[in-house]
Amino acid sequence: MLLVEDDPADTRLIIELWNELEGTNINSVNKGIDAMDYLYNRNKYKNCKKPSLILLDLGLPMKNGFEVLKEIKTDDELKCIPVIVLTGATDNKDINKSYEIYANACIVKPIDFDEFKNYMRIFINFWFKIVTLPKATPRRTKFDFKRLRK
């Protein structure tokens, strides 16, 4: 899973619950630009495996969650990855916009810490114990047909 979250407290909580319930690696970035670098294997993320699921906060610096979601869902190699949106907004505007650009689900972050912890437990159990996710596959590289002809 790739966690894209800029709030250190939320990141820490999600990673702790992940380790407690799942025990496998979770990767996290705190900027939208880093999320896209991770997904496209650019810069310091050259050897990263494509995640089977993305947990995406909307309020990110540099490139917001809507921009990240739109880029993922318009890329033929990334669009099959389920993207779960995290938002602190309780109005339907952000939620509706997320679904319009093909979020697979939206979670409104509760203010209460224990409730947020419970939401994350349910999220992890549902998406990683019940749902069958797509397998992570390496990015395809462009084939150089000119070299073949020589």
Give Cα 18 distance to the centre of its chain.
14
Number of domains making up the chain: 1
Domain presence at residue 137: no
In a domain, 85, yes or no: yes
User: 32 and 61 in contact (C-beta within 8 Å)?
Assistant: yes
CA distances from 130 to 26, 67, 125 (A): 18, 29, 7
- Residues in Cβ contact with 55 at an 8 Å cutoff, skipping those fewer than 6 apart: 1, 2, 3, 4, 5, 14, 84, 86, 123
What's the CA angle centered on 19, arms 14 and 24, to 5 degrees? 115
Listed in sequence order, the residues at least 6 apart from 23 whose beta carbon sits closer than 8 Å to its beta carbon are none
Does residue 139 lie within any of the structural domains?
A: no
Domain-located, residue 53: yes
DSSP string for residues in 93-116: HHHHHHHHTT-SEEEEPPSSHHHH
Q: pLDDT at residue 144 above 50?
A: no
Residue 103 half-sphere exposure toward CB, CA atoms < 13 A: 23
For residue 6, pLDDT over 50 is answered with yes
pLDDT digits (tens, 9 = 90+) for 10-50: 899 888 888 877 766 789 999 999 999 999 999 999 989 89
Q: Best-predicted range by mean pLDDT among 76-80, 116-120, 135-139? A: 76-80
Residue 140 lies in a domain: no
State how far the Cα of 43 lies from the Cα of 39, in Å rounded to an integer: 11
Q: Give domain status of residue 14, yes or no.
A: yes
Q: Record the tokens describing residue 53, joined without a space.
A: 């699921």
Evaluate whether residue 9 is within a structural domain.
yes
pLDDT per residue as tens digits for the range 47-95: 898 998 999 999 998 899 999 999 999 999 999 999 999 988 877 999 9
Q: Is residue 111 part of a domain?
A: yes
What pLDDT score was predicted for residue 145? 47
Domain that holds residue 39: 2-132
Between CA 21 and CA 146 the distance in angstroms is 50
CATH code for position 121: 3.40.50.2300
